[in-house]
A and B are shown apart, each in its own frame.
Chain A
Amino acid sequence: MKAAAFEHHEPTTVDKAVSLLESLDSPTILAGGQSLVPMLRFRLARPDTVVDINGIDSLDYLHEEDGYLKLGALARHADVEDSDLIDEKYGSFADTAPLVADPQIRNRGTIVGSIAQADPKGDWGSVLLAHDGEVVAQGPDGERVIPADELFLLPYDTSLGENELVTEARVPVPEAGEGSAYHKLKRKTGDYAMAGVAARLVLDDDGRITDAGIGMTAVDITNARAREAEAHLEGERPSADLFEAAGELAAEESNPESDEHGDASYKERMIDVLTQRALGDAAERAGVVKRRVTP
């Protein structure tokens, strides 16, 4: 790799990192480096200074606390992949982690870094949206909590301030009758999504959907919610017809572009398919229904 020269800083506390971000000229944050390093290699990114947060041990966590599943800024995709807690309670996270890139990238790349990168083809943004999640940012003026719905603005652009460091991503601990899933279509291991859908359902004892979240990958300028599909689900009992209608609504709400990952029409159709699949998994994981696939 022949990157352009840059200054490398290695703070060991969040406070130090934040003050570096404030004092340095157009700094870039390095966590897992799985997006930044290739951009440095192609010289698409030419930061003067890099603030490497890998030495901030306090950001390395994945646990439940105060009603949230919390992922510190140094939690790696592989940490999610290997977590028993995730396996037991967070279907969409368990689905997503092994689908991110390849094992080498998952060993280094972070969930928070992926979310802050705000690549519309990234997976975690959709999961965060489907779960009504949040990120926690530290800046010169202290801590700020940003709901996922208010985070993503444009490709690679978020509502984070220049001097803010995302320290955590979090989603509410699932309630009874909740299930979630993520489905992704890709051309090969290591490739970004052609399309992806995260779905979360909460079912009451009667089998009726009381809450639904659907996040979509790679079919809009940001990770995007399928709000009409979500609204259509609420109050209904899971059925093939219901999920088919939700799939169609989600496809209509998506705005994919034709590119190397396929034609827009194909991606729209796949949003339909993946939404149905993810909803089916989520409903089943909610523990109220059994799904039968025939034949």
Chain B
Amino acid sequence: MSSEPDLTAEPEEHQHADDGGPQPEKHCGHGRGGMGEEVTRKEDKRFITGRGNYVDDIKKPGMLHCEIVRSPHAHARIEDIDGSRAMALDGVVAVLTADDLLEHDLATMPTLMDDTQDVLVNDKVKFQSQEVAAVIAEDRYTAKDAAEKVEVEYDVLEPVVDAEEALEDDAPLIRDELDDQEDNHIFDWETGDKEATQEVFDEAAVTVEEQMEYQRLHPAPIETCGAVADWDPGKDKMTVHMTSQAPHAHRTLFSQVSGIPEHKVRIVSPDVGGGFGNKVPIYPGYVVAAAASYVLEQPVKWIEERSENIQTTGFARDYDMTGEIAATEDGVIQGVKVDVLANHGAYNAAAQPSKFPAGFFNIFTGSYDVDAAYGSLTGAFTNTAPGGVAYRCSFRVTEAVYLIERMVKVLADELDVDPAEIRRRNFIPSDAFPYESATGWNYDSGDYEKALDKALEMADYEHYREEQQRRIAEDADKLIGIGISSFTEVVGAGPGKQCDIAGIEMFDSADLRVNPTGNAVLRIGVQTQGQGHETTFAQIVAEELGMDVDDITVEHGDTDTEPYGLGTYGSRSTPVAGAAAAVAARKVRDKAKSIAANELEAAEEDIEWDRESGEFHVAGAPDRSITITEIAAGAYMNSPGNEEPGLEAVNYYDPPEMTYPFGSYIVVVEVDRETGEVDFEKFVAVDDCGNRINPMIIEGQIHGGLAQGIGTAMLEHVTYDDNGNVTGGDFMNYLLPTANEIPNFETGHTVTPSPHHPIGAKGVGESPTVGSPPAIVNAVVDAMSHAGTSHVEMPMTPDTVWEELDEVGLSISPSENVSFEFDDGASEEPADD
């Protein structure tokens, strides 16, 4: 593909530290597969040889299959459900309705934002395809046949799918089962200093404003959601294999919902085929499968179909935003204001820390040093699927980054200042970190200008600016646009006192056990869905203990064996569980030191750890050394009297702060003035995620996230018609990009370690999804801004772009620049117009 990561730049950019404490350290790679080495992914052998083990691969003796009956209406009262025709089919075991679940107190379940959602509709359907009944049968075909035969009588009500319309006085009331709910308003939220911000705006030389919609998206993991629930009446134990990004949190919730004591609940998240935030919430299908297994005392499998996944499980975004910037005549930003209308669907089921109703949206001042900022947001219920999950995103930071990066482009155009230059004038300076933003975030480290400069150089920025002007001057049929996004992310939730999921503080954990023969098992509280944890977490331990990466197995996803953790989403695995792994390894190393002293017959204070060789040795006598393998043997077979036998450690890590990865992306597009089609000419992504564990895996993460960013900007949209029908609810209509839509990516990096993270690392998985949409939109806008374009809504399909071209007078007919020449030398000139 594109350029190789610049590994040679890495060592000199690393910070050095000597004490081995929670500081960034030097990681150059020692050939054992430690930090900074491009270790081949350990998990890939099983995936590429067809030995992955996903939920739908799990088969148990006597296993039954669940199919859910869904409402064709978006808003309707259920008058009657008759399952008798379904029950009459051979092989049908049960038809479950809300009444059956009520008997077991399982008719409702809490959402992650403390709302209450029907597992099966008790009274009123609130969105299309909502779960109305469930059929349990001996095979999945019979279950599907029977589901069609469940007869449901609906009293169809008027739906409302648009958030603005939902808040109008005469809108139908969606949540009439709630005592105090008289309209579709959920909450108002404010951030920043309203008065100070208003003052700045009142006195500013320049203000700009733009309204923009971040359309409803779906994470659309290739593996849909599913579960195999298995109630064991002999052990009184419920085991649920399920597509979960947060197995422990789900265990606690399962226990709370079902009343089964938590030590009798086991959640296993086996191989997971992509999560992207979609597999953070609990869905009715999981609960139904568990309830059915409990009642029938047989294993029950529920596997979602593609359209069920898109139409009913956690969507993302759906923010209608208005941004404003106040600035000096020179383009120095003084204030930022933003107002948002958020469509939350039929239940408030956003997946984000409970004290953050708008997630981390208030990081909307981005990479810029802003004096005053104020944001307001209103959440609304609509007759659409519930959600607001963090799709490859740290809780609404994607919306925030889109807003500020778009607004900076709007300001640049207003003042006719180059978009790169205006960013330079406003960046938080590299010597200002740690930096507290106007809305209260504590940025750990950053060097934004360095990343931008690198991206500009890689993108050949000046060349494309000249080419852009040439095309405009020649009235060419294809215009060039150059878009920049210099984003800052906030990832790695906790700290636990600020961030919790359903009350559980957002720490994470690692349990490291070194075996007598010198290899080790690391169990972690986070759960991989493609991120490569089995490799990168092993690398962290390899680095800290001088072991070979192949001697470390990483286990995750089984609540019976793994330490409690909050799961993988919001790029939190490396910032939180990665820190826990490093600290656990250092605890092991501390203990190993005393065993080394015993083995080497030296005083413990004379034992030194040598990161380069991965060995302990006696101070001043490097040849008197011992490896962790030899120490492990000693720990079990020759333990010193002053230590417990064994060589293990556990760490529960509560991060002191979040980490703030950043980057600069530059996108060059060519816009066809005849059709509105957009082609990518160049796509440069420079990322800074602090110290890098595995550059190859980072590269893969960046590529995947950029592809999703392109899907966001160009194609994807969950749409509804006025009757509440999902019109973008399958892959014919919810357009995922294919390899054909993805250009070559040129990736680069800078390294600015996190000062508070034990290995100086920050999260990276979602940076490209967060950072790229505004770069792409800015590029398309940039192609037309000379004619007055200030914004184009996503997804920028050809018709959307052409409408804007036409609006600003740039659309043309092919006849305007075509001529034909005949063999006889005659020629027909272009048409006059």
A-side residues, CB < 8 A to B, are 2, 4-5, 38, 42-43, 102, 185, 187-191, 194, 207, 237-244, 247, 260-263, 266, 269-270, 272-273, 276-277, 280, 283, 288-295
B-side residues, CB < 8 A to A, are 140-141, 144-145, 148, 305, 307, 474-477, 674-675, 677, 714-715, 719, 727-728, 732-733, 735, 737-738, 740-741, 797-799, 802-803, 811, 813-824, 826, 828-831
Contacts A241-B828, A273-B814, A276-B814: A294 and B819 contacting too (C-beta < 8 A)? yes
Residue of A at shortest CB range from B727?
Answer: A260
17 extra interchain contacts, Cβ-Cβ under 8 A, other than A247-B815, A273-B814?
A2-B140, A2-B305, A38-B732, A42-B307, A188-B735, A207-B822, A239-B819, A239-B829, A240-B828, A240-B829, A260-B727, A262-B798, A269-B811, A283-B820, A289-B821, A291-B820, A292-B819
Q: Are A273 and B817 in contact (CB under 8 A)?
A: no
Q: Are A187 and B715 in contact (CB under 8 A)?
A: yes
Q: Are B815 and A294 in contact (CB under 8 A)?
A: no
CB distance from B215 to the nearest CB of A (A): 13
Residues of A within 8 A of B819 (CB): 239-240, 291-292, 294
CB distance from A78 to the nearest CB of B (A): 16
Residues of A within 8 A of B823 (CB): 207, 288-289
Q: Are A280 and B818 in contact (CB under 8 A)?
A: yes
Residue of A at shortest CB range from B738?
Answer: A189
Contacts A239-B820, A276-B815, A288-B822: A188 and B715 contacting too (C-beta < 8 A)? yes
Q: Are B828 and A238 in contact (CB under 8 A)?
A: yes
Residues of A within 8 A of B732 (CB): 38, 191
Residue of B at shortest CB range from A270?
Answer: B675
Most chain A CB inside 10 Å of its own CB: which residue of B799, B819, B831: B799
**A–B pairs, 22, beta carbons within 8 Å:** A5-B141, A42-B307, A187-B735, A187-B798, A188-B741, A194-B799, A237-B822, A238-B828, A240-B828, A241-B815, A247-B814, A247-B815, A262-B797, A262-B799, A266-B802, A277-B674, A280-B820, A292-B819, A292-B820, A293-B477, A294-B818, A295-B476
Within 8 Å by CB of B815, from A191, A244, A290, A292, lies A244
Residues of A within 8 A of B826 (CB): 207
Residue of A at shortest CB range from B717?
Answer: A260
Within 8 Å by CB of B740, from A189, A207, A269, A290, lies A189
Residues of A within 8 A of B674 (CB): 273, 277
Q: Are B738 and A243 in contact (CB under 8 A)?
A: no
Residue of B at shortest CB range from A4?
Answer: B145
Q: Are B818 and A293 in contact (CB under 8 A)?
A: yes
Q: How far is the CA of A1 from the CA of B829 in the complex (A)?
A: 57
Residues of B within 8 A of A239 (CB): 819-820, 828-829
CB distance from A32 to the nearest CB of B (A): 17
Q: Are B740 and A194 in contact (CB under 8 A)?
A: no
Residue of A at shortest CB range from B147?
Answer: A2
Q: How far is the CA of A5 from the CA of B90 in the complex (A)?
A: 14
Q: Are B820 and A266 in contact (CB under 8 A)?
A: no
Q: How far is the CA of A82 from the CA of B307 in the complex (A)?
A: 34
Residues of A within 8 A of B813 (CB): 244, 247, 272-273, 276
Residues of A within 8 A of B733 (CB): 260
Q: Are A185 and B798 in contact (CB under 8 A)?
A: yes
Residues of A within 8 A of B824 (CB): 207
Residues of B within 8 A of A185 (CB): 675, 677, 798
CB distance from B60 to the nearest CB of A (A): 20
Contacts A102-B738, A247-B813, A294-B830: A289 and B141 contacting too (C-beta < 8 A)? no
Q: How far is the CA of A260 from the CA of B734 in the complex (A)?
A: 10
Residues of B within 8 A of A290 (CB): 820-821
CB distance from A61 to the nearest CB of B (A): 30
Contacts A272-B813, A280-B818: A194 and B798 contacting too (C-beta < 8 A)? yes
Residues of A within 8 A of B829 (CB): 239-240
Q: Are B719 and A260 in contact (CB under 8 A)?
A: yes
Residues of B within 8 A of A188 (CB): 714-715, 735, 737-738, 740-741
Most chain B CB inside 10 Å of its own CB: which residue of A2, A276, A293: A2
- By Cβ-Cβ distance, the 7 closest A-B pairs, closest first, are A239-B828, A262-B799, A244-B815, A189-B740, A2-B144, A276-B814, A240-B815
Q: Are A277 and B814 in contact (CB under 8 A)?
A: yes
Residue of B at shortest CB range from A266?
Answer: B799
Residues of B within 8 A of A240 (CB): 814-816, 818-820, 828-831
Q: How far is the CA of A263 from the CA of B802 in the complex (A)?
A: 11
Q: How far is the CA of A290 from the CA of B733 in the complex (A)?
A: 40
Residues of B within 8 A of A191 (CB): 732, 735
Residues of A within 8 A of B728 (CB): 260
Residues of A within 8 A of B737 (CB): 188
Q: How far is the CA of A291 from the CA of B819 in the complex (A)?
A: 6
Q: How far is the CA of A68 from the CA of B757 in the complex (A)?
A: 73
Q: Are B818 and A291 in contact (CB under 8 A)?
A: yes
Q: Are A280 and B814 in contact (CB under 8 A)?
A: yes
CB distance from B762 to the nearest CB of A (A): 33
Contacts A188-B735, A280-B814, A294-B817: A241 and B675 contacting too (C-beta < 8 A)? no
Q: Are B803 and A266 in contact (CB under 8 A)?
A: yes
Contacts A2-B144, A241-B828, A260-B719: A187 and B818 contacting too (C-beta < 8 A)? no
Q: Are B476 and A273 in contact (CB under 8 A)?
A: no
Q: How far is the CA of A266 from the CA of B806 in the complex (A)?
A: 10
Residue of A at shortest CB range from B817?
Answer: A294
CB distance from A112 to the nearest CB of B (A): 22
Q: How far is the CA of A239 from the CA of B829 in the complex (A)?
A: 7
Residue of B at shortest CB range from A238?
Answer: B820
Contacts A2-B141, A276-B813: A269 and B802 contacting too (C-beta < 8 A)? yes
Contacts A187-B797, A291-B820, A294-B817: A244 and B740 contacting too (C-beta < 8 A)? no
Residue of A at shortest CB range from B741?
Answer: A188
Residues of A within 8 A of B828 (CB): 237-242
Within 8 Å by CB of B474, from A43, A241, A263, A295, lies A295
Residues of B within 8 A of A247 (CB): 813-815
Q: Are A289 and B820 in contact (CB under 8 A)?
A: yes
Q: How far is the CA of A294 from the CA of B815 in the complex (A)?
A: 10
CB distance from B86 to the nearest CB of A (A): 14
CB distance from A272 to the nearest CB of B (A): 7
Residue of B at shortest CB range from A283?
Answer: B820
CB distance from B816 to the nearest CB of A (A): 8
Q: How far is the CA of A55 from the CA of B486 in the complex (A)?
A: 58
Residue of B at shortest CB range from A261?
Answer: B799
Residues of A within 8 A of B817 (CB): 293-295
Residue of A at shortest CB range from B816?
Answer: A240
Residue of B at shortest CB range from A183?
Answer: B675
Q: How far is the CA of A263 from the CA of B830 in the complex (A)?
A: 29
CB distance from A235 to the nearest CB of B (A): 15
Q: How far is the CA of A270 from the CA of B811 in the complex (A)?
A: 11
Residue of B at shortest CB range from A292?
Answer: B819
